[in-house]
C-alpha cells in the first residue's frame, strides 16, 4: 500500500458520464475541455491543442512515482544552491551516468539557478531524498532569490565533497558527486527541459542503509518519490516483489488454454505469474492430480476460482493443473 501526502480531492470518473469528468477531473488537472475527446474508457488529448501547464499536469500525473534528484551546486563565485528535481533517473553504470532536468518555468520561461550553476562550473552533487528529510527538501524548493543558501533555509547540513566544489547534504542517505558531461537544451519555451548529463565521480553511502552484504536495503533507505499534484510516495510502504523473468525462461501466457487467457476471473497479474513458470505440467501429471484430488466435472468457473486461490498462495503448478483439466 502506498503512502502519500496531501491527497487531492477524489477524481473517480464514473464510466460513460462525461459531465462527471468535467466536474471531478478537470478541476484537478485544469484541462480545457474544448480539446478533449472522451471515448470508451479513454480520454484523447493532442499535446498541440492544449496549454503547456495542462499537458504538464497530465504527464506528471501519469509518469509516477519519480525519483528525486536533490541537486546541490555552486555558482562562479562559490555561492551554494540546493533544489530538488523529479525529472531524474540513472541511465548508465559504465560510465556511471545520471540525468536530471531543471525545466524552464512554464509561467514566465525563466530558468533555474541550478541550470545556470551547472553551466558555469560543470559540477553538481545529486543527493538522494528519504522520508526523514522530505519536508526539508520541499522547503528548499521555495524560489528564494539568487545567492540565498537553501541549506540554511531548510536546516540541512553542508558536508564537504571529496572531488567537486558543491557540498553534499549530510542528512541524505546517498550522495553522488558528479561532473557535468553535457547539457542538452530541449527547447527555448516555457516547460522545455534541460538535460544535465552527469558522470558520477564519487559515491557516499551511509552505513545505516546497508545490509550485511553491503548492498542498499530498500527498507532502510526509505526513499520518497514525486507523484502528481502535491502527492509523494514513501517507497518502503509501497514495495512488493516480482520475480525477474530473466532468472528463468517462462513459458509465457500464450501457453495457457484459451479459456484461461480470456477468463473474467483471472487477472492480467494472475496470467503473468502463470506464464512465468518454467514448464507446463504434462498430461500424465494433470490426470494424476485430478484423481488424487477427486476432481470430476468441474465447471470452467470452478477451475478458474480454484486456480486463482492457488495463485494467491504461490502454488502455480497446482493452479496450472486446474486450468488443464
Q: How far is CA 169 from CA 40, 86, 124, 151, in A?
A: 48, 17, 12, 8
Q: Give the phi and the psi of residue 246 in degrees, each rounded to 5.
A: -65, -25
**pLDDT given for residue 284 in this prediction:** 92
The pLDDT, as a whole number, for residue 226 is 96
Give me the pLDDT at residue 38, please: 55
Mean pLDDT of 85-94: 97
What is the average pLDDT value for the chain, to the nearest integer? 87
Q: Could you please report the per-residue DSSP string of 125-150?
A: EEEEPBGGGHHHHHHHTS-PPTT--H
Backbone φ, ψ for residue 245 (5° rounding): -65, -15
Write the CB contacts of 263 (distance below 8 Å, at least 6 apart in sequence).
304
Give residue 40's pLDDT.
64
Backbone φ and ψ for 136, nearest 5 degrees, come out as -65, -40
Do residues 189 and 144 make contact, with C-beta atoms less than 8 angstroms apart?
Answer: no
Residues 94-132 have pLDDT tens digits of 999 999 999 999 889 889 999 999 999 999 999 999 999
Residue 72 banded pLDDT, cuts 50, 70, 90 = very high
pLDDT for 147 equals: 81
Please give the model's pTM, rounded to 2 decimal places. Answer: 0.79
Q: Domains of the chain by range and CATH?
A: 18-62 (no CATH), 69-237 (2.30.110.10), 245-324 (no CATH)
Nearest-10 crossing angle of helices 316-324, 283-293: 90
Q: Is 27 helix (H, G, I), strand (E, B) or coil?
A: helix
What local confidence, expressed as pLDDT, does residue 306 receive?
94
Percent of the chain at pLDDT > 90 equals 73
Q: How far is the CA of 312 from the CAs of 274, 295, 315, in angstroms?
A: 11, 20, 8
At 257, give phi and psi (nearest 5°).
-65, 155
pLDDT of residue 37: 57
Q: 8-16: long-range contacts at Cβ-Cβ below 8 A with a sequence spacing of 24 or more?
A: 8/229, 8/230, 8/231, 15/41, 16/40
Q: What is the pLDDT of residues 270-279, one digit of tens each?
A: 999 999 999 9
Report the C-alpha gap between 271 and 319 in whole angstroms: 11
For the stretch 14-59, pLDDT in tens is 333 334 444 444 444 444 444 455 556 778 889 999 999 899 999 9
By the 8 A CB rule, do 321 and 289 touch? yes
Q: What is the pLDDT of residue 145?
A: 85
Q: Give the pLDDT band of residue 11 (cuts 50, 70, 90).
A: very low
Strands 88-93, 80-85: pairing kind? unpaired
Collapsed DSSP state (helix, strand, coil) of residue 228: coil
Q: How far apart are alpha carbons 227 and 86 in whole angstroms? A: 9
pLDDT tens figures, 128-159: 999 999 999 999 999 888 888 999 999 999 99
Among 203, 71, 218, 240, residue whose Cα is nearest residue 130: 218
- Distance, in Å, from the CA atom of 223 to the CA atom of 217, rounded to the nearest integer, reads 11
Cα gap 202→190, rounded to integer Å: 33
Amino acid at each position: 500500500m502506498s503512502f502519500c501526502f496531501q491527497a487531492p480531492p477524489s477524481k473517480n470518473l464514473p464510466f460513460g458520464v462525461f459531465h462527471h469528468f468535467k466536474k471531478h477531473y478537470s478541476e484537478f488537472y485544469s484541462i480545457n475541455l474544448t480539446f478533449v475527446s472522451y471515448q470508451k474508457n479513454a480520454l484523447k488529448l493532442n499535446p498541440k491543442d492544449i496549454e503547456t501547464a495542462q499537458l504538464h499536469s497530465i504527464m506528471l500525473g501519469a509518469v509516477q512515482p519519480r525519483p528525486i534528484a536533490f541537486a546541490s551546486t555552486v555558482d562562479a563565485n562559490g555561492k551554494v544552491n540546493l533544489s530538488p528535481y523529479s525529472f531524474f533517473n540513472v541511465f548508465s553504470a559504465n560510465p556511471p551516468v545520471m540525468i536530471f532536468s531543471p525545466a524552464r518555468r512554464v509561467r514566465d520561461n525563466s530558468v533555474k539557478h541550478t541550470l545556470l550553476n551547472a553551466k558555469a562550473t560543470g559540477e553538481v552533487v545529486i543527493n538522494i531524498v528519504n522520508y526523514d528529510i522530505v519536508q526539508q527538501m520541499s522547503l528548499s524548493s521555495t524560489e528564494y532569490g539568487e545567492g540565498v543558501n537553501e541549506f540554511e533555509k531548510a536546516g540541512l547540513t553542508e558536508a564537504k565533497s571529496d572531488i567537486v566544489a558543491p557540498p553534499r547534504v549530510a542528512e541524505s542517505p546517498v550522495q553522488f558527486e558528479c561532473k557535468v558531461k553535457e547539457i542538452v537544451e530541449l527547447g527555448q519555451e516555457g516547460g522545455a527541459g534541460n538535460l544535465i548529463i552527469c558522470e558520477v565521480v564519487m559515491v557516499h553511502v551511509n552505513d545505516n542503509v546497508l545490509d550485511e552484504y553491503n548492498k542498499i536495503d530498500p527498507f532502510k533507505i526509505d526513499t520518497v518519490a514525486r507523484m502528481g499534484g502535491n502527492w509523494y510516495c514513501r517507497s518502503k510502504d509501497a514495495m512488493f516483489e516480482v520475480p525477474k523473468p530473466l532468472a528463468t525462461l517462462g513459458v509465457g501466457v500464450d501457453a495457457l488454454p484459451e479459456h484461461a487467457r480470456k477468463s473474467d476471473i483471472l487477472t492480467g497479474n494472475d496470467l503473468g505469474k502463470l506464464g512465468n513458470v518454467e514448464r507446463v505440467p504434462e498430461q500424465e501429471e494433470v490426470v494424476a492430480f485430478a484423481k488424487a484430488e477427486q476432481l470430476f466435472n468441474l465447471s470452467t468457473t470452478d477451475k478458474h476460482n480454484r486456480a486463482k486461490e492457488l495463485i494467491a498462495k504461490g502454488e502455480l503448478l497446482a493452479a496450472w493443473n486446474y486450468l488443464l483439466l
